[in-house]
Amino acid sequence: MDKTALADRLGQPAPFGRSPFAIARGNIFEARLKADGCAALLDPLRSRLGLPAGDDSPLRVPDLLPRSGPAARAARTAQALAEAVAEPAAWTLLDHPMLRLTVAGSPAYLEPDAVVVRGGRCTVVEIKSFPVLDGAADPAKVGAAARQAAVYVLALQEAAGQRADSGPYDTQELPGSPELSVLLVCPEDFSNRPTAELIDIRRELATTRRQLARMTRIDELLDALPPGTSFDLVPDVAGQPTRPVAELTAAVESVPAAYSPECLSSCELGFHCRSQARCEGAVEQLGRGVRGELGSIRSVGEALAAAHGDAPEGDEAAARLGYAAALRAEALGAQAMAGAVAG
Amino acid sequence: MSLLSTLARLEAVRSGHAEPLATVRHRHLSDRPLVLVPLAAAAEDGAPLAVLLGTDRSAPRLHIVPQPLNRGQRYAFLAAFAADLLPYLESCAAEVERIEGSEKDPQTGEKIVTFRELSADAPQVIVPNHGAVQHLGLLGRATRFRRTAEDPDPGRYPAPAQVPLLGRWLTHLTDRAKVPGSSLLLPMTGLLARHWATGQSQLEDQHLGAQLAWHRATSELPGAEAARLVESGRDERGQLLHPPAGPTTDPRFDEKLLGPAIGRYDAALAALRHAQDEDGPESPRAQSAQASAERAVEQLRTLLHAVMLPTWHDVWHGLDLLRTLPPGAHLPERWESDRWSFTGHRERVAAGEPPQPRRDDAVTAARKLAQREREQVRTDVQEALDDPLAMAERRLAGEAFSGEVTELVPDWDTSGRTPKPRPLLTVRTTDHPHADLGREVHRAWGPSVQKAVITAVDPGQGLITVRVASGMGRKKEPEPGSLPAVGERVTFTLFELTARQSAPLPEPDDTPWTHGGPPSAAQDSPTAAEEWE
């Protein structure tokens, strides 16, 4: 389903989008790396993967049918991967391969920036356009890149036939199984020169695995919804949605959401959930931490009632809130009095 | 976030308007602040796009980079920015105070009187949000190591003369902004959030327009709705009615307006070059191409000016709001630290010291950390003393208690040759401090510095008895007025009211190699080729 279009139709459009400049910058940097037979990429690769300096065997870049459908591309990638693994002495770079991963019982297709194969093992290469400044990059961006790469590694493990029940920190020396570190390639300082760093993603891998294992199968999720729920906008010939907003709102509301302000920066429906949370007077609208502070109190109305003395006896959070309200009133009252004297 | 500020946010949700979080202003505001609104190009991290700045709210000055990917234009922009900002910084040093100090003569060990000059004023730069502070930091990092044509080895791409100096000042300002309680460079979102609570989360408060919407809210348009309009209201062309405060621009603006305008400029420039090559630089065709290139720049300027102006007015509006609060009593003291910081950096630049290193060595890092910790403690204490609401936070946390004096029993310490007054003071309070027996407490807002020790606690009755140990004069009887009378309200804190001086760190040259050793400057010499292809 198209969450952006859905949010538009609900009257709470998503605030995101990527600037065309940022996209162009990412593409230019990647194209520069992959120019001249990936010469710029190979240097950091050799040094980071600890290969001898004299090793300059040519790099092979098989054609992965980039214009075909995902299933055909995935099949072609699997074939190219098998060929590359069969020749341990050669370097192979899979440019935008297509990987398959089973998510909640259904196949999902993933496209890493590149995968390098040598010596029967492969390494995921992630190209990002945020800079590494004086040897340090924005930790939030590096974390996001590591989580993304972990999913690719998982897909490669699945492709190599690694057992799903093996521990996350086990490396099985299967042919074609991925390394548990990925190579992150970024511009250095303010230039377009690439710099690369190996990132250990074992922790992200374990997290992703656990999350995938806990994910309910899609058909079970569908069973929980009322029959006939649909997010289809039923576009007409011109692509304009025709489905009534009320029907859509009801459909969205049948799926419970746990809103917190962090949602606004990642989910297209964040604004919709926020207006709902505000209507309900949920305390989460003020931040996740607030809920912990207020204990059993869940709504703004209840919290304000507790602050002004209408609290049920024995509720610790309510008593603290009442005490805080008294202190606040005292401090503000003192100021008002001082103002009156001065005035 | 503390429970008190949560409570203020809850009240703001109900009232639909921002609610006070402070009764006084906790940051110094200069009489002549410089407001600076920077924009970054989405194309590259740290690439400038435009800056709107000035000390006069009716006359902002705009500098832009017409093609953000062109590094030559970027340095022309930085030179213009420097020519605008540096005179302001310099003007703050016009008057100096002579501060008398004493120093030990290294040879004789005798004390000698020394004089240091302290700038009477210091610059104050106000930016819209924290992102702008970071952007200025990146600009500082990108420019302070540049070589100029005046250097002995200028390299292939010498930068205009003032650019490295601009970089050093931007680095100093962003560095100083990390010191708690400092006021040389302040983000408006942070300033407003310190003094008022809105009915939204801290995350949403990062949007300056949305935060101010809670201040402008009326009964017809409550804060939540006003903030939502600012965040997402768009006109018929799909552009935000209230552009974001930056430094990044709205992607839809980049796509629909800025991208095409830059494209037109590139085309005009290409046509100009073509005409100059074919017909010569003085030909009529070249001149008309020149005129159209200038028009394209003018269009870009108009476009960027329009998108930055609302933020410019927002920052000034925020300043108006802050000026309605009376200044805290300790602000001059903290501003003096800022003035020292400004004076010190000016002297370092004048003495020809090298720019700030890429990474601090261990000794400098330890010093900076110690300074920030000290300033954090000092700011927290001073804010509590200046503002009953800040003190209420400490009382809620169990670090202070206020109440009425119910009993004052005279007593003396007779262990010495002359008896000293050690009266017992009982306070009835509703607060629940972490009052352990024998703990030292300090009297806030008393006539003099006064320490006491807790001797008895009765939580059921809310009674706390302390033995006052100092601040009563040297005689047998306490000085009149030095002790509170029965029925008077007093406040005692469990924390000290003056920041404790930590043991000084050794001089850099005396630091053993195990702790970083003497600093090496070799790796931080200015580079010519860096950052260029």
CB contact under 8 A, A327 and B43: no
A285, A287, A326: residue with CB nearest B1: A287
User: Contacts of residue A133 in chain B, CB cutoff 8 Å?
Assistant: 45, 138, 141
For residue range B67-111, what is the model confidence (pLDDT) as tens digits?
888 888 888 999 999 999 999 999 988 888 888 877 777 777 777
Which of A130, A136, A119, A143 shows the shortest CA–CA distance to A200? A143
pLDDT interval class at B394 (50, 70, 90)? very high
CB contact under 8 A, B388 and A331: yes
Read off the DSSP letter of residue B54. Answer: E
Give how far the C-alpha of residue A61 lies from the chain's centroid of Cα atoms, to the nearest Å. Answer: 29
Interface test with A, best of B13, B141, B235, B249 (most A CBs within 10 A): B13
CB contact under 8 A, B531 and A326: no
Q: What is the rounded CA–CA span in Å between residue A264 and residue A212?
A: 24
> Which residue, chain included where needed, has tokens 């005129």?
B291
Read off the DSSP letter of residue B21. Answer: S
Instruction: Name residue A233's amino acid.
Output: L
pTM (whole model) above 0.90: no
Q: What is the rounded CA–CA span in Å between residue B94 and residue A296?
A: 59
Task: Say if residue B247 is preceded by a cis peptide, omega within 30 of 0.
Answer: yes
Q: Locate A306 and state its tokens.
A: 């507790």
User: Contacts of residue B387 in chain A, CB cutoff 8 Å?
Assistant: 331
CB contact under 8 A, B251 and A20: yes
Which residues, at least 6 apart from A311, have a Cβ–Cβ distance to it below 8 Å? A305, A318, A319, A321, A322
CB contact under 8 A, B14 and A287: no
In chain B, % of residues over pLDDT 70: 96
CB contact under 8 A, B252 and A17: yes
DSSP per residue, A290-309: HHHHHTT--BHHHHHHHHTT
Closest chain B residue to A283 measured between Cα atoms? B10
Which residues, at least 6 apart from A324, have a Cβ–Cβ distance to it below 8 Å? A307, B3, B4, B7, B396
Averaged pLDDT for residues B365-375: 89
The alpha-carbon gap from B388 to the nearest alpha carbon of chain A, in Å, equals 5
Instruction: Please tell us whether the domain made up of B400-493 is placed in CATH 2.60.40.
Output: no
Q: Bigger pLDDT: B473 or B168?
A: B168
> Which residue, chain included where needed, has tokens 């991290």?
B45
How would CATH label the architecture of A20-214?
Answer: Alpha-Beta Complex (3.90)
CB contact under 8 A, A285 and B200: yes
For residue range B143-169, what is the model confidence (pLDDT) as tens digits?
888 887 777 776 777 778 889 999 999
Contact A12, B232 (CB under 8 A): yes
User: Contacts of residue A278 in chain B, CB cutoff 8 Å?
Assistant: 224
pLDDT of A50:
65
Task: Specify which residues A235 forms β-bridges with.
Answer: A241
Per-residue pLDDT of chain A (343 residues; tens, 9 = 90+): 667 777 777 777 766 777 888 888 888 888 888 777 677 777 777 777 666 655 566 677 777 777 778 888 888 888 888 888 877 777 788 888 888 887 777 788 888 888 888 777 788 888 888 888 887 888 888 998 998 888 888 888 887 776 555 555 555 566 667 888 888 888 888 777 888 888 888 888 888 888 887 776 667 777 777 777 777 777 777 777 777 777 777 777 777 777 888 888 777 788 888 888 888 888 888 888 888 788 778 888 888 888 887 666 667 788 888 888 889 988 888 666 655 544 4
Q: Locate A209 and state its tokens.
A: 């695995």
Give how far the C-alpha of residue B364 lies from the chain's centroid of Cα atoms, to the nearest Å. Answer: 21
Closest chain B residue to A8 measured between Cα atoms? B232
A130, A133, A323: residue with CB nearest B141: A133
CB contact under 8 A, B201 and A321: no
Whether the complex's predicted ipTM surpasses the cut of 0.90: no
Give the Å distances, CA to CA, from A207 to A122, A144, A149, A218, B326: 21, 13, 12, 20, 51
Closest chain A residue to B232 measured between Cα atoms? A15
B357, HSE (Cβ side, Cα atoms, 13 Å): 13
pLDDT of A313:
65
**Alpha helix stretches (DSSP H) within A242-294:** 245-253, 270-280, 288-294
Q: What is the rounded CA–CA span in Å between residue B372 and residue B337?
A: 12
B3, B13, B23: residue with CB nearest A331: B23
A25, A261, A334: residue with CB nearest B388: A334
CB contact under 8 A, B388 and A294: no
pLDDT of A166:
58
CB contact under 8 A, B203 and A262: yes
Which residues, at least 6 apart from B239, have a Cβ–Cβ distance to it below 8 Å? B250, B252, B253, B256, B257
H/E segment holding residue B405:
strand B400-409
B13, B201, B396: residue with CB nearest A287: B201
Which of B83, B78, B94 shows the shortest CA–CA distance to B32? B94
Domain range list for chain B: 3-245+314-353, 400-493
CB contact under 8 A, B358 and A331: no
CB contact under 8 A, A286 and B395: no
Domain range list for chain A: 3-12+243-342, 20-214
Closest chain A residue to B248 measured between Cα atoms? A19
Which of A17, A328, A169 shows the shortest CA–CA distance to B252? A17
CB contact under 8 A, B46 and A131: yes
Interface test with B, best of A138, A285, A327 (most B CBs within 10 A): A327
The alpha-carbon gap from B459 to the nearest alpha carbon of chain A, in Å, equals 15
A189, A278, A286: residue with CB nearest B530: A189
A17, A265, A300: residue with CB nearest B13: A300
Closest chain B residue to A281 measured between Cα atoms? B13
Q: What is the rounded CA–CA span in Å between residue A55 and residue B130?
A: 48
B201, B251, B358: residue with CB nearest A261: B201
User: Contacts of residue A264 in chain B, CB cutoff 8 Å?
Assistant: 203-204
For chain A, the 3-state helix, strand and coil shares in percent, each to the nearest 5, are 50, 15, 35
